[in-house]
């Protein structure tokens, strides 16, 4: 399965809905999307990963890159994920300490800390 | 020889194929269903790393994946042909890109070692090899 991306605005947040597989082949598309959003002035991002079937370290790298970019503008990057197999990858790499991970888009959009 | 061998051009789009084949052969070999996600991820990481090494080193040789079914265990070997610097050598290449590459490289290896209990990484002048092994439970043949 390929990668699907769609974005929508909720208040001052931009929600990026990601679906499919994020790997070495598709991760550049996600990177482009995040870079474009930041370049267009969206600094508070919520990446909804509920539709993601597969995520590898290349995908993690892109998310970390996105976080770096929004932080340069005092922004935020929050993740929405409930899938154990995806969460496991964040845990073993220690990235659960780096990303705020929420159980729903509503929760992520409402979060302020 | 290995149960199944796979050689693919060092291009990102083929890594998914390697993942799918590896998971299918692992399932047949009797690797626990709950572990298949880890197999898929680990082999993807190893292949991604090999593709990166071939691409950055301008190596036209394919990446080699061996799927080996043995008694009570299943192994996957992912081999690259990139010359790895031996300790004491200063790494080849130049500039910040090399650092970036090696960071991503480390991330892949970090995921592999976090996922797989039995992993062996060897590297030399002629290339590197990652060997990962999982236990299998013999499948009980269900005859019609």
pLDDT for residue B92 is more than 80: no
Which chain B residue lies closest to A84 (C-alpha atoms)? B37
**Residue A98 contacts residue A64 (beta carbons within 8 Å):** yes
B86 — pLDDT class (breaks 50, 70, 90): low
Domain that holds residue A27: 1-107
Q: Do A57 and B45 touch (CB under 8 A)?
A: yes
Is residue A17 assigned to a domain? yes
Q: Do A23 and B48 touch (CB under 8 A)?
A: yes
Q: In the prediction, which pLDDT does B84 show?
A: 79
Three-point CA angle A33, A67, B52, nearest 5°: 70
Of A110, A16, A103, whose CA–CA distance to A66 is shortest? A16
Percent of chain A with pLDDT over 70: 99
Is residue A24 assigned to a domain? yes
Is residue A25 assigned to a domain? yes
Distance of CA A93 to the CA centre of its chain: 16
- Among partner residues B40, B104, B115, which is closest to A92 by beta-carbon distance? B115
Is residue A56 assigned to a domain? yes
* Angle between helix B15-29 and helix B36-56 axes, rounded to 10 deg: 150
pLDDT digits (tens, 9 = 90+) for A51-110: 999 999 999 999 999 999 999 999 999 999 999 999 999 999 999 999 999 999 999 999
- The CATH number covering residue A97 comes to 3.30.750.24
Question: What ipTM, to 2 d.p.?
Answer: 0.88
Of A113, A110, A96, whose CA–CA distance to A46 is shortest? A110
Is residue A112 assigned to a domain? no
Contacts A–B by Cβ distance under 8 A: 51
- Taking the C-alpha atoms of residue A13 and residue B77, their distance in angstroms, rounded to an integer, is 44
Helix extents (H) in B5-139: 15-29, 36-56, 95-115
Q: Do B110 and A56 touch (CB under 8 A)?
A: no
pLDDT digits (tens, 9 = 90+) for B44-74: 999 999 999 999 999 999 999 999 999 999 9
Query: Using CA of residue A93, residue A88, residue B36, residue B54, what is the dihedral sign?
Result: negative
A11 — pLDDT class (breaks 50, 70, 90): very high
Count structural domains, chain A: 1
Q: In order of start, what are the domains of chain B with their CATH numbers?
A: 2-135 (3.30.565.10)
- Taking the C-alpha atoms of residue B78 and residue B66, their distance in angstroms, rounded to an integer, is 7
Q: In the prediction, which pLDDT does B110 show?
A: 87
pLDDT digits (tens, 9 = 90+) for B1-55: 789 999 999 999 999 999 999 999 999 999 999 899 999 999 999 999 999 999 9
**Predicted TM-score (pTM) of this structure:** 0.87
Q: Which residues of B touch A68 (CB under 8 A)?
A: none
Q: In the prediction, which pLDDT does B94 show?
A: 41
Closest-CA distance, B103 to chain A, in angstroms, reads 10
- Taking the C-alpha atoms of residue B128 and residue B2, their distance in angstroms, rounded to an integer, is 18
Is residue A113 assigned to a domain? no
Both tokens of B26, joined, read 């692992």
pLDDT for residue B140 is more than 70: no
Q: In the prediction, which pLDDT does B95 show?
A: 42
- Taking the C-alpha atoms of residue A89 and residue A68, their distance in angstroms, rounded to an integer, is 19
B144 — pLDDT class (breaks 50, 70, 90): low
Q: In the prediction, which pLDDT does B107 show?
A: 82
A2 — pLDDT class (breaks 50, 70, 90): confident
């Amino acid at each position: 399965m390929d990668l699907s991306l769609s974005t929508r605005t909720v208040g001052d947040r931009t929600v990026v809905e990601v679906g499919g597989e994020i790997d070495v082949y598709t991760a550049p598309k996600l990177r482009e999307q995040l870079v474009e959003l930041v370049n267009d002035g969206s600094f508070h991002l919520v990446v909804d990963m509920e539709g993601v079937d597969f995520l590898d370290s290349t995908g993690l790298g892109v998310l970390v890159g996105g976080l770096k970019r929004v932080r340069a503008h005092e922004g935020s990057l929050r993740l929405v994920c409930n899938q154990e197999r995806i969460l496991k990858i964040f845990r073993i790499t220690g990235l659960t300490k780096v990303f705020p991970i929420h159980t729903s888009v509503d929760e992520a959009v409402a979060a302020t800390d | 020889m290995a149960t199944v061998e796979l050689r693919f051009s060092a291009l990102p789009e083929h890594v998914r194929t390697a993942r799918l084949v590896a998971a299918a052969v692992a399932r047949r070999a009797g690797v626990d269903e709950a572990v298949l996600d880890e197999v898929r991820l680990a082999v993807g990481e190893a292949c991604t790393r090999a593709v990166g090494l071939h691409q950055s080193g301008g190596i036209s040789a394919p990446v080699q994946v061996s799927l080996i079914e043995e008694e009570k265990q299943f192994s996957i070997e992912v081999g690259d042909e990139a010359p790895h610097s031996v300790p004491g050598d200063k790494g080849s290449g130049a500039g910040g890109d090399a650092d970036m590459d090696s960071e991503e490289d480390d991330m892949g290896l970090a995921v592999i070692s976090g996922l797989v209990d039995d992993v062996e990484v060897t590297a030399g002048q002629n290339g590197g090899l990652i060997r990962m092994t999982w236990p299998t439970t013999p499948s009980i043949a269900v005859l019609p």
